[in-house]
Every structure is written in C-alpha cells, then in structure tokens.
Amino acid sequence: MSCCVLQITGLIFGGVGMLGALAATAMPQWRVSAHVEANLVVFESVWEGLWMDCISQLGLRLQCKLYDSVLALPPPLEALRALMCLAVLLAVLAFLVAIVGVKYSQPGQEGPRAVSPFILAAGVAFLLTGGLVLVPVSWTGGAIVRDFYDPAVPVPLKRELGAALYVGWASGALLLAAGAMYC
C-alpha cells in the first residue's frame, strides 16, 4: 500500500514539476530590471527571458519582442535554452514512463519484484530532469547576483531575480523529489 502511495505522490510531484519546468522555460521574467539607488520613480520595467525581452510601461502596457536571430544570441543564452528544452522533453518522457510504471506495477506485492522497470526508469529520468532544470536556473541566478554587486556594472543594467527562476527552482525540487520517491 505504501508503495502505491509513493508512486502516486511521485507522479503528482513529477507532473507539477514538468509543468513548472515548461512554464519557467516560456516565462520572460528570468532577469528583471532592478530599481536601486535614486531611481525611485519607475516608468518602465524590463524583463529578459530565454525567448524574448519585454518592457512594461507603468504596469499598464506590456510590449514583448522575440529575439531576432538564434545566431545572434550570446553563447550562454543558447546553452540555457538548450538545457531547459532538453529538461522539458526529458520531463515529459519521464512523466509518461511513470504513468506506464504505475499502471503496470503489481499492487499487493511488496519487495523488489513488485517494482516495474518503468518505475526505476522514471525515477532516474526525474532525477536527471531535476538536475537539468536546476543547472540553468542556478547559473542565471548566480550571474544576476554577481552582476548586481559588481560596481563595474552600470545601475541601469543591473537586474534582479525574476519569477521564472523561482518557478524553476521549485520545479527542480519537485522533480528531484519525484525521482527520489520512485528510486
């Protein structure tokens, strides 16, 4: 019975983590403009994401623009995009394998024979996906904090942690928890 509860809980955590990874990948709020020093009246907020930049004017008007060319992107942004897309694909695959594993596990039996090979595969995939989500999110967060405290970076170019990073961290934690439950 406890095995089935862990599998269902892992499936729920994995599903929510998968959706969170997809949301974090699509959200434009990875880096948001920082309002520091004498910049008390703010008319614009800048959001930078993996796919687009957005400008919010007075909180009333939001204008977003997709990046013009993949070839013109800086290499770190290309790497972040690739890792997050790979993580989303692996999360979907892990979730589907987990569904199959829950369906074909043998209720009523305890021990190693009751565990479907799909369950173990889903656990490993969820663990790998959680790591893949945490790497680009933490990398971006570290770069934002480093640049924020760097006196060489001009004040208008300083950024703060955006909502997408928090969604990514939570998703990575849920995916790791799902993988731990399946393993």
Distance (Å) of CA 116 to CA 105, 109, 112, 130, 179: 5, 11, 9, 22, 14
Largest CA distance in the chain: 66
The predicted structure's pLDDT at residue 37: 63
More confident residue, 115 or 51: 51
The pLDDT mean for the chain works out to 86
Taking the alpha carbons of 163, 180, 120, 135 in that order, is the dihedral positive or negative?
positive
Q: Is 14 exposed, middle or buried (0-12, 13-18, 19+ CB in 10 A)?
A: buried
For residues 162 and 61, what is the distance between their CA atoms, to the nearest angstrom?
Answer: 19
- Summarised one tens digit per residue, pLDDT across range 108-134 is 555 555 567 888 898 999 999 999 999
- Decide if 56 contacts 45 (C-beta within 8 A): yes
Q: At 102, is the pLDDT very low, low, confident or very high (cuts 50, 70, 90)?
A: confident
Q: How far apart are CA 79 and CA 144, in angstroms?
A: 16
Domains of the chain: 1-27+74-182 (1.20.140.150)
Question: How much is the pLDDT for 61?
Answer: 82
Q: Are 48 and 159 spatial neighbours (Cβ–Cβ below 8 Å)?
A: yes
**d(C-alpha 143, C-alpha 31), whole Å:** 10
115: left (phi over 0), alpha (psi -120 to 50) or beta: beta
Q: What secondary structure letter does DSSP report for 114?
A: G
pTM passes above 0.75: yes
Q: Six-digit token pair at 179?
A: 């993988």
